[in-house]
Amino acid sequence: MVRRESLSRKLFLGFNYTFLTLLSLTMFLPFLNVIAQSLSSAGAIDRGEVLFWPVEITTQYYKYVFEDVSIWRAFGISVYITVLGTAINLAATATLAYPLSRQEYVGRRLVLMVILLTMIFSAPLIPQFILMREIGLVNTLWALMIPTAISAFNLFVLRSFFAQLPTELIDSSRIDGCGELRTLWSIVLPLSKPALATVGIFYSVTNWNKYMDALYYINDRAKYPLQVKLRELLITDDLSDTGNLAFEITSQSVQGVQMAVILVATIPIIMIYPFLQRFFIKGMLIGSIKS
Protein backbone atom coordinates (compact mmCIF):
# COMPACT_ATOMS: atom_id res chain seq x y z
CA MET A 1 0.00 0.00 0.00
CA VAL A 2 1.45 3.32 -1.11
CA ARG A 3 1.05 6.10 1.40
CA ARG A 4 0.17 9.45 -0.12
CA GLU A 5 1.49 12.50 1.63
CA SER A 6 -0.76 15.47 2.21
CA LEU A 7 -0.20 18.82 0.54
CA SER A 8 0.85 20.43 3.82
CA ARG A 9 3.39 17.65 4.37
CA LYS A 10 4.83 18.16 0.88
CA LEU A 11 5.05 21.91 1.41
CA PHE A 12 6.78 21.40 4.74
CA LEU A 13 9.33 18.98 3.25
CA GLY A 14 9.96 21.31 0.31
CA PHE A 15 10.52 24.29 2.60
CA ASN A 16 12.68 22.20 4.92
CA TYR A 17 14.92 20.90 2.14
CA THR A 18 15.24 24.35 0.58
CA PHE A 19 16.10 25.99 3.90
CA LEU A 20 18.68 23.34 4.81
CA THR A 21 20.24 23.54 1.33
CA LEU A 22 20.59 27.32 1.55
CA LEU A 23 21.96 27.04 5.06
CA SER A 24 24.53 24.49 3.88
CA LEU A 25 25.58 26.78 1.02
CA THR A 26 26.22 29.66 3.43
CA MET A 27 28.77 27.41 5.15
CA PHE A 28 30.22 25.66 2.12
CA LEU A 29 30.61 28.53 -0.36
CA PRO A 30 33.01 30.61 1.80
CA PHE A 31 35.13 27.50 2.29
CA LEU A 32 35.08 26.94 -1.47
CA ASN A 33 36.21 30.53 -1.97
CA VAL A 34 39.16 29.95 0.37
CA ILE A 35 40.16 26.88 -1.65
CA ALA A 36 39.89 28.84 -4.91
CA GLN A 37 42.04 31.71 -3.64
CA SER A 38 44.69 29.34 -2.30
CA LEU A 39 45.08 27.92 -5.82
CA SER A 40 44.87 31.19 -7.80
CA SER A 41 47.60 33.56 -8.86
CA ALA A 42 48.30 36.71 -6.88
CA GLY A 43 47.25 38.88 -9.81
CA ALA A 44 43.88 37.18 -10.15
CA ILE A 45 43.22 37.58 -6.42
CA ASP A 46 44.24 41.23 -6.49
CA ARG A 47 41.92 41.93 -9.46
CA GLY A 48 38.99 40.28 -7.65
CA GLU A 49 38.48 37.62 -10.31
CA VAL A 50 38.43 34.66 -7.91
CA LEU A 51 35.06 33.52 -6.60
CA PHE A 52 34.44 29.77 -6.35
CA TRP A 53 36.87 28.50 -8.97
CA PRO A 54 40.68 28.98 -9.20
CA VAL A 55 41.95 31.47 -11.76
CA GLU A 56 45.44 31.01 -13.20
CA ILE A 57 46.00 27.92 -11.07
CA THR A 58 49.20 27.81 -9.03
CA THR A 59 50.48 25.81 -6.06
CA GLN A 60 53.14 28.30 -4.99
CA TYR A 61 51.33 29.19 -1.75
CA TYR A 62 51.25 25.59 -0.61
CA LYS A 63 54.91 25.26 -1.55
CA TYR A 64 55.60 28.22 0.72
CA VAL A 65 53.57 26.75 3.58
CA PHE A 66 55.16 23.30 3.32
CA GLU A 67 58.67 24.79 3.28
CA ASP A 68 58.04 27.23 6.14
CA VAL A 69 59.64 26.03 9.37
CA SER A 70 57.63 28.33 11.67
CA ILE A 71 54.27 27.20 10.28
CA TRP A 72 55.19 23.53 10.68
CA ARG A 73 56.41 24.21 14.22
CA ALA A 74 53.06 25.82 15.07
CA PHE A 75 51.27 22.92 13.35
CA GLY A 76 53.21 20.40 15.44
CA ILE A 77 52.38 22.29 18.65
CA SER A 78 48.67 22.24 17.77
CA VAL A 79 48.81 18.50 17.07
CA TYR A 80 50.59 17.94 20.39
CA ILE A 81 48.03 20.01 22.29
CA THR A 82 45.13 18.27 20.54
CA VAL A 83 46.35 14.71 21.11
CA LEU A 84 47.70 15.04 24.65
CA GLY A 85 45.10 17.58 25.72
CA THR A 86 42.20 15.42 24.52
CA ALA A 87 43.66 12.42 26.35
CA ILE A 88 43.86 14.48 29.54
CA ASN A 89 40.32 15.78 28.99
CA LEU A 90 38.83 12.32 28.55
CA ALA A 91 40.71 10.84 31.50
CA ALA A 92 39.78 13.70 33.86
CA THR A 93 36.17 13.90 32.69
CA ALA A 94 35.55 10.14 32.85
CA THR A 95 37.04 9.73 36.33
CA LEU A 96 34.81 12.55 37.65
CA ALA A 97 31.68 11.64 35.69
CA TYR A 98 31.68 8.02 36.88
CA PRO A 99 31.28 8.64 40.65
CA LEU A 100 28.78 11.42 39.94
CA SER A 101 26.64 8.94 37.99
CA ARG A 102 26.34 6.40 40.85
CA GLN A 103 23.50 6.82 43.30
CA GLU A 104 25.41 5.38 46.25
CA TYR A 105 28.05 8.11 46.42
CA VAL A 106 27.33 10.67 49.14
CA GLY A 107 27.60 14.35 48.29
CA ARG A 108 27.31 13.96 44.53
CA ARG A 109 24.40 16.43 44.31
CA LEU A 110 26.45 19.14 46.00
CA VAL A 111 29.35 18.51 43.61
CA LEU A 112 26.99 18.67 40.64
CA MET A 113 25.64 22.02 41.81
CA VAL A 114 29.15 23.44 42.16
CA ILE A 115 30.04 22.22 38.65
CA LEU A 116 26.82 23.70 37.31
CA LEU A 117 27.81 27.08 38.71
CA THR A 118 30.97 27.02 36.57
CA MET A 119 28.73 26.90 33.47
CA ILE A 120 27.04 30.11 34.59
CA PHE A 121 29.91 32.08 36.15
CA SER A 122 33.44 32.02 34.73
CA ALA A 123 36.60 32.97 36.61
CA PRO A 124 37.86 36.56 36.09
CA LEU A 125 40.86 36.83 33.79
CA ILE A 126 43.28 38.66 36.12
CA PRO A 127 42.94 36.29 39.12
CA GLN A 128 43.15 33.36 36.73
CA PHE A 129 46.38 34.72 35.21
CA ILE A 130 47.87 35.34 38.67
CA LEU A 131 47.06 31.76 39.67
CA MET A 132 48.64 30.40 36.49
CA ARG A 133 51.76 32.46 37.13
CA GLU A 134 52.04 31.34 40.76
CA ILE A 135 51.86 27.63 39.87
CA GLY A 136 54.42 28.09 37.08
CA LEU A 137 52.26 27.37 34.03
CA VAL A 138 52.73 30.70 32.24
CA ASN A 139 54.66 30.34 28.98
CA THR A 140 54.30 26.55 29.00
CA LEU A 141 52.09 24.34 26.85
CA TRP A 142 50.56 22.90 30.02
CA ALA A 143 48.72 26.22 30.38
CA LEU A 144 46.71 25.27 27.29
CA MET A 145 45.70 21.84 28.62
CA ILE A 146 45.53 21.65 32.44
CA PRO A 147 43.13 24.56 33.26
CA THR A 148 40.58 23.30 30.72
CA ALA A 149 40.94 19.62 31.56
CA ILE A 150 37.23 19.28 32.36
CA SER A 151 34.35 20.94 30.54
CA ALA A 152 31.15 21.10 32.59
CA PHE A 153 28.99 20.48 29.52
CA ASN A 154 30.98 17.42 28.44
CA LEU A 155 30.98 16.19 32.02
CA PHE A 156 27.17 16.19 32.13
CA VAL A 157 27.01 14.43 28.76
CA LEU A 158 29.32 11.66 29.93
CA ARG A 159 27.62 11.41 33.32
CA SER A 160 24.23 10.96 31.61
CA PHE A 161 25.58 8.05 29.60
CA PHE A 162 27.23 6.40 32.61
CA ALA A 163 23.96 6.70 34.56
CA GLN A 164 22.13 4.69 31.87
CA LEU A 165 24.45 1.69 32.19
CA PRO A 166 22.85 -1.29 33.98
CA THR A 167 23.53 -1.24 37.69
CA GLU A 168 23.79 -5.03 37.63
CA LEU A 169 27.02 -4.83 35.64
CA ILE A 170 28.61 -2.55 38.23
CA ASP A 171 27.43 -4.76 41.10
CA SER A 172 28.67 -7.95 39.44
CA SER A 173 32.13 -6.46 38.90
CA ARG A 174 32.31 -5.53 42.57
CA ILE A 175 31.26 -9.05 43.57
CA ASP A 176 34.10 -10.37 41.41
CA GLY A 177 36.52 -8.25 43.43
CA CYS A 178 37.04 -5.32 41.05
CA GLY A 179 37.81 -1.96 42.56
CA GLU A 180 36.26 1.26 41.27
CA LEU A 181 39.12 2.06 38.87
CA ARG A 182 39.10 -1.50 37.51
CA THR A 183 35.33 -1.32 37.06
CA LEU A 184 35.65 1.98 35.27
CA TRP A 185 38.44 0.73 32.99
CA SER A 186 37.15 -2.77 32.24
CA ILE A 187 33.37 -2.35 32.34
CA VAL A 188 32.23 1.24 32.03
CA LEU A 189 34.61 2.70 29.43
CA PRO A 190 34.34 -0.18 26.89
CA LEU A 191 30.55 0.21 26.97
CA SER A 192 30.79 4.00 26.60
CA LYS A 193 32.59 4.30 23.26
CA PRO A 194 29.80 6.35 21.61
CA ALA A 195 29.80 8.86 24.46
CA LEU A 196 33.59 9.00 24.60
CA ALA A 197 33.76 9.57 20.83
CA THR A 198 31.23 12.40 21.06
CA VAL A 199 32.98 14.10 23.96
CA GLY A 200 36.37 13.42 22.33
CA ILE A 201 35.32 15.28 19.17
CA PHE A 202 34.17 18.25 21.22
CA TYR A 203 37.43 18.31 23.16
CA SER A 204 39.67 17.81 20.13
CA VAL A 205 38.03 20.65 18.20
CA THR A 206 38.40 22.92 21.23
CA ASN A 207 42.06 21.99 21.70
CA TRP A 208 42.85 22.40 18.01
CA ASN A 209 41.32 25.88 18.05
CA LYS A 210 43.19 27.07 21.14
CA TYR A 211 43.60 30.80 20.66
CA MET A 212 42.69 33.04 23.59
CA ASP A 213 44.51 30.92 26.16
CA ALA A 214 47.65 31.02 24.01
CA LEU A 215 47.44 34.81 23.75
CA TYR A 216 47.05 35.12 27.53
CA TYR A 217 49.65 32.66 28.76
CA ILE A 218 52.23 32.12 25.97
CA ASN A 219 54.91 34.77 25.51
CA ASP A 220 57.41 32.82 23.44
CA ARG A 221 56.52 32.95 19.73
CA ALA A 222 58.23 29.59 19.24
CA LYS A 223 55.46 28.04 21.38
CA TYR A 224 52.54 29.58 19.50
CA PRO A 225 49.94 27.07 18.26
CA LEU A 226 48.74 27.18 14.68
CA GLN A 227 45.71 29.39 15.36
CA VAL A 228 47.86 32.17 16.84
CA LYS A 229 50.32 31.81 13.95
CA LEU A 230 47.39 32.14 11.57
CA ARG A 231 46.29 35.26 13.41
CA GLU A 232 49.71 36.81 12.79
CA LEU A 233 49.37 36.14 9.08
CA LEU A 234 45.80 37.44 8.85
CA ILE A 235 46.08 40.51 11.08
CA THR A 236 49.64 41.73 10.62
CA ASP A 237 50.39 40.30 7.15
CA ASP A 238 53.77 39.40 8.65
CA LEU A 239 55.53 36.83 6.48
CA SER A 240 59.03 38.18 7.02
CA ASP A 241 59.80 36.23 10.20
CA THR A 242 58.91 32.78 8.95
CA GLY A 243 62.32 31.47 8.01
CA ASN A 244 61.31 30.75 4.42
CA LEU A 245 63.54 32.68 2.05
CA ALA A 246 62.84 30.58 -1.03
CA PHE A 247 59.57 32.36 -1.70
CA GLU A 248 59.39 35.98 -2.77
CA ILE A 249 56.84 37.80 -0.64
CA THR A 250 54.77 40.54 -2.27
CA SER A 251 51.73 42.43 -1.07
CA GLN A 252 49.61 40.52 -3.60
CA SER A 253 50.85 37.06 -2.60
CA VAL A 254 50.14 37.49 1.12
CA GLN A 255 46.42 36.75 0.77
CA GLY A 256 47.07 33.54 -1.15
CA VAL A 257 49.43 32.34 1.59
CA GLN A 258 46.83 33.22 4.20
CA MET A 259 44.19 31.12 2.44
CA ALA A 260 46.60 28.18 2.16
CA VAL A 261 47.37 28.36 5.88
CA ILE A 262 43.64 28.48 6.68
CA LEU A 263 43.15 25.22 4.78
CA VAL A 264 46.14 23.62 6.48
CA ALA A 265 44.62 24.60 9.84
CA THR A 266 41.12 23.39 8.94
CA ILE A 267 41.46 20.15 6.99
CA PRO A 268 43.13 17.99 9.73
CA ILE A 269 40.31 18.49 12.23
CA ILE A 270 37.70 17.88 9.51
CA MET A 271 39.35 14.56 8.65
CA ILE A 272 38.80 13.24 12.19
CA TYR A 273 35.01 13.23 11.91
CA PRO A 274 34.57 10.44 9.27
CA PHE A 275 36.45 7.97 11.48
CA LEU A 276 34.28 8.76 14.52
CA GLN A 277 30.99 9.43 12.72
CA ARG A 278 29.43 6.10 13.68
CA PHE A 279 30.12 6.64 17.38
CA PHE A 280 29.31 10.34 17.19
CA ILE A 281 25.76 9.76 15.89
CA LYS A 282 25.11 7.23 18.65
CA GLY A 283 26.53 9.57 21.26
CA MET A 284 24.31 12.44 20.15
CA LEU A 285 21.27 10.30 21.10
CA ILE A 286 22.36 10.11 24.75
CA GLY A 287 19.38 10.67 26.98
CA SER A 288 16.87 10.85 24.10
CA ILE A 289 15.34 7.45 24.99
CA LYS A 290 14.28 6.66 28.52
CA SER A 291 13.43 3.16 29.68
Query: What would the pLDDT profile of 97-122 be if each residue is shown by its tens digit?
Result: 888 888 878 788 888 888 888 888 87
Q: Is residue 51 part of a domain?
A: yes
Burial of 92 (0-12, 13-18, 19+ CB in 10 A): middle
243 and 122 housed in the same domain: yes
Are residues 231 and 106 located together in one domain of the fold? yes
d(CA 246, CA 242): 11
The answer to whether residue 63 is domain-embedded is: no
Plot region of 55 (φ>0 → left; ψ -120 to 50 → alpha; else → beta): beta
Taking the CA of residue 35 as centre, how many other CA atoms within 13 Å lie in the half-sphere pointing to its CB?
9
Res 285: pLDDT: 52
**Are residues 123 and 13 part of one domain?**
no
For residue 135, what are the domain limits?
Answer: 68-284
Residues 164 and 41 in one domain: no
Examine the domain organization and report whether 19 and 76 are in the same domain: no
What's the CATH number where 261 sits?
1.10.3720.10
Instruction: Tell me how many domains the chain contains.
Output: 2
Answer yes or no: do 248 and 167 share one domain.
yes
Q: What is the pLDDT along the chain (291 residues), one digit of tens a residue?
A: 456 667 788 888 888 899 989 988 888 888 888 888 888 877 777 777 778 888 787 777 888 777 778 888 888 899 999 999 999 999 999 998 888 888 878 788 888 888 888 888 877 888 888 888 888 888 889 988 998 888 888 888 888 888 888 888 787 878 877 777 888 888 888 888 888 888 888 898 889 888 888 888 888 888 889 888 877 776 665 555 554 444 455 555 677 777 888 888 788 777 777 766 666 655 555 544 444
pLDDT at 89: 93
Report whether 105 contacts 166 (CB < 8 A): no
* Number of Cα atoms under 13 Å in the Cβ half of residue 221: 9
- The per-residue pLDDT for 276 is 64
Residues 47 and 120 occupy one common structural domain:
no
At 278 the pLDDT is: 64
Shared domain for 84 and 149, answered yes or no, is yes
**Number of alpha carbons in the 13 Å side-chain half-sphere of residue 175:** 6
Instruction: Please give the distance of CA 169 from its chain centroid, rounded to a whole number.
Output: 33
- Residue 153 sits in the same domain as residue 225: yes
CA distance 227 to 35: 18
Residue 290 resides in a domain:
no
On whether both 40 and 124 belong to a single domain, the answer is: no
**Alpha carbons 97 and 178: distance in angstroms, whole number:** 19
Same-domain check for residues 280 and 170: yes
